[in-house]
Structure 1
Amino acid sequence: MPPGGPQAVGTSPGGPRKVSRVILLDPADRILLLHGFEPGDPADDWWFTPGGGVEGTETREQAALRELAEETGITQVDLGPVLWHRYCSFPFDGRRWEQDEWYFLARTDRTEITPAGLTELERRSVAGARWWTSEELLSARETVYPTRLAELFRTLLDDGPPVAPVVLAPEIV
C-alpha cells in the first residue's frame, strides 16, 4: 500500500525522491483524490493526492503543475502555498520507494477529469478519481494517504493554510 501513490520511482543516489503533490480544491471545497491499487493485486487499493516526482531542473511548483495536468487534464489552477512536508517509504510494484513530498494547495473551477498523460505504470495502477467533501473523507473506511489527510483537510478548511509548511510524521510501511 504505497502512501505516496504509484508514480514514485525509487530512491535516487542523493536521497529520497523529490515529489510534489497537490491538494486540489474545487469551488465547493471538495478535494480531488486518485484511486490507486497495487498492479498485481487490484484488491490492495487506496486513495491519494495527485502529484509526482520532480524531473530534471524543474522546480517543485513546476512539477506540481505538470503532474496535475498529466494525471487529471486540469491545467487552469491557482497554485498556492506549500501546506505540508512528508517523508514516506513503502513497497510498491515489487520494490521499495522513498519520497520527500511537498503538498501544495491549489484551486480550480474545473471538475472534469481527463487523465490523458498517465505513465505506463499509472495506467496499470490508477482506477480513477473522485472529488470528496470533508465529511465524506472524515467518514471514509477506505485507505487514504497521507493517513491523516481527513484531519489535515478539515483543519485547512477551518483555519486556512498554515503560516509555514507543517512537517508531518514520517510514514513507513
Structure 2
Amino acid sequence: MAETGEVNPLRRAARVVLLDDRDRVLLLHGYEPDDPSYTWWFTPGGGLEGDEDWEEAARRELAEETGITQIELGPLLWRRTCSFPFDGRQWDQEEYYFLARTRQTGVWTGGETELERRSVTGLRWWSCGELLATHETVYPTRLAELLRTLLDEGPPPVPVRLETERA
C-alpha cells in the first residue's frame, strides 16, 4: 500500500531466462541496500520504459545489466505477479519471463541505475543441478523446477501463470 492508503500501481517488468550453449541460466546476485547480509539470485530484467513493449524491455534490460546483446529471444514462458519490500518501499510487479539463448558471456556492468549499483554484486551461470542443490534464495522461488521442466519438455505452448509471490 502507498502511504496514502492507495494501492501501489503495478509495475510491468520484463525478465529473461538466458541460457548458454550448456543450458546454464544466467542469474544476478542481489542484496538489500540497507542490509547486505540479505541476498538472493534473480533473472536479468526490469521495468518497461516509455512506450517500449515487453520484448524491447527484455533486450534493453539484459544489455544494461550484463552487457549481453547477442541473443536469440524466444517465447514468453511464464507470467507472475509479485510483491516485495526493497530499498525502503513496497514493489508490486507483473513480470513476463522470456526465454533467450546466447553464446556470449556476460559480465556485471555495474548497473545503469544508482539503485542497481547499490544492490547487485555480480552474475553467475547456474546449471539446473546447481539450482536444485542450492540453499541460497532464488527468484522466482520455483526457478530450479521450472528450468528442469523447460529443459526436459521445451517451452510451454502458452505462457504459464505462476503463483503470486509475496514477501
TM-score normalised per structure 2: 0.94
Shift of 1:118: 2.5
Number of equivalent positions? 161
Residue ranges of structure 2 left out of the alignment (5+ in a row): 1-6
Shift of 1:111: 1.4
Contact 2:111 2:117 in 1 (8 A): no
CA RMSD of aligned residues (A): 1.2
Residue ranges of structure 1 left out of the alignment (5+ in a row): 1-12
2:147 to 153, 164, 169: 153
* SS of structure 2 residue aligned to 1:90: strand
- Residue 103 of structure 2 is matched in structure 1 by 109
Q: Who wins on radius of gyration, i.e. which is larger?
A: 2
1:52 aligns with 2:46: yes
* SS of structure 1 residue aligned to 2:104: coil
Q: Any residues of structure 2 matched to 1:16-35 within 5 Å, and which?
A: 16-35=10-29
1:117-164 superposed Cα distances (whole Å, 9 cap, x missing partner): 421100000011000000000001100000000000000000000000
The list of structure 1 runs, each at least 4 consecutive aligned residues, that deviate by more than 2 angstroms after superposition, is: none
Shift of 1:15: 3.3
- Residue 87 of structure 1 is matched in structure 2 by 81
1:40 to 34, 41, 63: 34
- Residue 144 of structure 1 is matched in structure 2 by 138
- Residue 61 of structure 1 is matched in structure 2 by 55
- Residue 66 of structure 2 is matched in structure 1 by 72
Shift of 1:14: 8.5
Shift of 1:114: 4.4
Shift of 1:44: 0.3
* SS of structure 2 residue aligned to 1:74: coil
AA partner of residue 168 (structure 1): L
* SS of structure 2 residue aligned to 1:142: coil
TM-score normalised per structure 1: 0.90
* SS of structure 2 residue aligned to 1:65: helix
* SS of structure 1 residue aligned to 2:69: coil
- Residue 126 of structure 1 is matched in structure 2 by 120
* SS of structure 2 residue aligned to 1:157: helix
